[in-house]
Structure 1
Amino acid sequence: MTTTVAFVGLGHMGGPMAANLVRAGHRVLGHDLVESCLSAAVANGVERAGSAAEAASAADAVITMLPAGRHVLSLYGPEGLLAAARPGTLFVDCSTIDVADSRAAHAAAEAAGHRSLDAPVSGGVVGAEAGTLTFMAGGEEAAFAAAEPLLSVMGRKAVHCGAAGAGQAAKICNNMILGVSMIAVSEAFVLAESLGLSDQALYDVASAASGQCWALTVNCPVPGPVPASPANRDYRPGFAAPLMAKDLGLAANAVRAGGVEAELGLRAAELYARFAEGAGADQDFSGIVRAIRAASAGTTDPRKGVTA
């Protein structure tokens, strides 16, 4: 069945997601404040809408992929998407935002007579392009069931995690694991270099032993062992370091608010915040290996021939 979808936020993630909906036969009305993003989406079959509200007014479902909670709440506000949409429209927010902001967005949608789902994603730009994202959803069972046909086009797996905000909770917990894992893997490679062990040797052992993890076998932070990893493209994102810093910041806020003892999660948030504000501003999050190497006295990067 063809669904008319309003897609607001057509950047690195939203653009490919919208294109996959078009390829699956859905009508997609798109809007983005950045003209280059909107033009790229139009080239992939998305119909240009004059505004976000105009797109929502003609849609069966509204999908948002925005940078922060304030952007979602602003668009959901008076005279925004909720007011423009027809009664009972399905709203699916795929942004990664604070749990409290997500619950506020749910409440606003419900008060306006709409169905609502928070459905942040995992899988990065590669997953968005390939349609292999994982969606972590929060909201009513009926809203999740209504969204599943669209989610299945844009991703490989969708998990209903619970009530409003549960998808966001799952996302920040997952990315806290990922951030800590990437730092641990990066530190291990730098340690291996200092001990004279090659990257390939460490990879061959760890990838088949108890050190195996996604940060190692899919997004390996050193060039060579995993040809598709960003390390082989001079750390062009994938999943940009500033986005990891944002997600870990959300996790850190939740840790403090909940009184949770999460020493590694908080430390990872600090390290990624510093990396994203400096050399990592335009790098994949796996590029943190460079910062770890540079801070390690007496270690040598065999690819650069320099000593930190």
Structure 2
Amino acid sequence: MEIGFIGLRAMGTAIARNLVKAGNDVRGWNRTPVAPETVPGMTLIDNPAEAFDSDVVFTMLSDDAVIRDVILRPALLARARPGLIHVVTSTISVAFAQKLERLHEAAGLQYVSAPVLGRPNVAAIGQLNMLVGGKPEVIAIIEPLLAVLSKKVWNLGEIPAQANAAKLAANMMIAMAIEAMAEAVVLTESVGLDRARFFELILGTLFAGRTYESYSAQITEGAFEPGFKAKLGLKDLRLATQAGGATGRSLPMLDAVQQRLGEAVLAGLGEKDWSIMAHVTLRGGGLSPAPVTVAGTH
């Protein structure tokens, strides 16, 4: 299958490599130049319009604004191959996903939202969880492609934005779990209980699961190297807040974790893993806006 790929940073590169390994003809473009050996077997192209002259195009771009700049402002939809399927794997706002669906329909193109759960190392071994929303007949066409990228494809409905809402909700819940663990450590360390012993208890009883296992280890070790950068996590929490605002409901826990992560980013920690918000809580807030070394500080 002829595949265009736009967005070759860590996650995009990992996904593109697996598409090439599966025998697809992949042509890739990135906003900043990448070396030809970045994805062995992939053809680098000169501009994103060439990617839209394909059967399927994947985009892994950082946010709504970048998709507008790269895809919409140059009117790439109007220049695309007829019948093309556009798979947007980025974490974008619900409202923007709804707009993209309308724009693709008007252009006679197919649109699928497919944000992912997993980090680049997970993508590299084809073990992502892919959250997919779109027309069933269109998803069926690209399912063999999604299968080589993921351990499971979660088909969440015919409305693309359903997948985007699910991704934002999942990230919101991860942030809440990080903050919950940090606040629990504040309580337990106040009487001298070692955080490693406390997390052993929690993981062995009430809160077993990958999120708690992964982030409790980072909190225990005071090691917050990315994974998932705090500045990107804050972007996702802001998108979740926008989606929540559209419901007319109050989401106080979301407000709290967005504020906490915002404090970390404001303090110059936006390049750290987003679990750095736990460090803010453990410090009692009030971080100065300067880089902070946190490993081994507990």
TM-score, structure 1 length as denominator?
0.87
Counterpart position of 1:6: 4
Write the distance in 1 (CA, Å) between the matches of 2:24 and 2:38. Answer: 14
Aligned to 1:303: 296
In structure 2, the CA distance between the partners of 1:40 and 1:278, relative to structure 1 (3 Å rule), is farther
User: 1:283 Cα shift?
Assistant: 0.7
**Corresponding letter in the other structure for 2:104:** A
Looking at structure 2, the residues matched to 34 and 81 of structure 1 have their Cα atoms a distance apart, in angstroms, of: 19
Give distance in 1, aligned partners of 2:56 and 2:74.
18
Q: Give 1:16's aligned residue.
A: 14
Q: 1:63, CA displacement in angstroms?
A: 0.4
Residues 121 and 134 of structure 1 are in contact (CA less than 8 Å); yes or no, is this contact kept in structure 2?
yes
Identity in percent? 29
Q: Indicate whether 1:184 and 2:173 are aligned.
A: no
With normalisation by structure 2, the TM-score equals 0.89
Summarize deviations over 1:55-80 as a string: whole Å, max 9, x none.
221x1100001111122234443654
- The 8 Å contact of residues 242 and 281 in structure 1, kept in 2 or not, is answered as yes
Q: Residue in 2 aligned with 1:102?
A: 97
Would the aligned equivalents of 2:130 and 2:153 in 1 still touch at CA under 8 Å? yes
In 1, distance between residues paired with 2:75 and 2:55? Answer: 16
- Give CA deviations for 1:217-246 in whole Å, capped at 9, x if unaligned: 13335366xxxxxx57x4221111111111
Choose which of 200, 205, 212 in structure 1 pairs with 2:208.
Answer: 212
Root-mean-square deviation (CA, aligned residues, Å) is: 2.3
- Cα contact 2:230–2:274 (8 A) shared by 1: yes
Report the secondary structure of 1:210's partner residue.
coil
Aligned counterparts of 1:79 and 1:279: Cα–Cα separation in 2: 34
Within 5 Å, give how 1:84-95 maps onto structure 2. Answer: 84-95=79-90
How far has the Cα of 1:182 moved from its partner? 1.0
Q: Tell me, what secondary structure is at the counterpart of 2:91?
A: coil
Instruction: Report matched runs for 1:131-280 at 5 Å.
Output: 131-162=126-157, 163-222=159-218, 234-280=223-269
CA distance in 2 between counterparts of 1:216 and 1:85 reads 43
* Aligned-residue offset at 1:92: 0.3
**3-state SS, counterpart of residue 207 of structure 1:** helix
- CA separation of 1:40 and 1:131: change in aligned 2, threshold 3 A: farther
Letter of the structure 2 residue corresponding to residue 292 of structure 1: T
Q: Given the alignment of the two structures, is residue 116 of structure 1 paired with residue 111 of structure 2, yes or no? A: yes
User: Take 2:277 and 2:36, find their aligned partners in 1: how far apart are those partners?
Assistant: 30
Asked if structure 1 preserves the Cα contact closer than 8 Å seen for 2:13 and 2:38, the reply is no
Post-superposition offset of 1:40: 6.7
- Counterpart AA for 1:281: G
3-state SS of the aligned residue for 1:285? coil
Unaligned runs of 5+ in 2: 287-293
C-alpha distance after superposition, 1:157-213 (max 9, x if no partner): 111212131111111111111111111112223433332222321122111111334
The one-character-per-residue Cα deviations of 1:39-65 (angstroms, maximum 9, x if unpaired) are 2764433210011101221x1100001
| In 2: Cα distance, 1:198 partner to 1:259 partner | 42
Distance 1:45 1:237 in 2: 28
1:225-272 C-alpha deviation (Å, 9 max, x unpaired): xxxxxx57x422111111111111111111122112321111111111
Tell me what 1:286 maps to: 275
Q: Which residue of 2 aligns with 1:29?
A: 27
1:227 match: none
Whether the 8 Å CA contact 1:10–1:41 is kept in 2: the answer is no
Kept in 2, the 8 Å contact 1:172–1:248? The answer is yes
Tell me how far apart the structure 2 counterparts of residues 97 and 223 of structure 1 sit (CA, whole Å). 28
User: What residue in structure 1 maps to residue 291 of structure 2?
Assistant: none
- List runs of 5+ in structure 1 lacking aligned partners: 225-230
Aligned to 2:289: none
1:99-145 CA-partner distances (Å, limit 9, x unpaired)? 11111111111211111101111112222222211111121111211
Give deviations 1:3-56, integer Å, cap 9, x for gaps: 121110111211111111112221211100122xx2276443321001110122
**Partner secondary structure for residue 186 of structure 1:** helix
Q: 1:221 touches 1:289 (CA, 8 Å); kept in 2? A: no
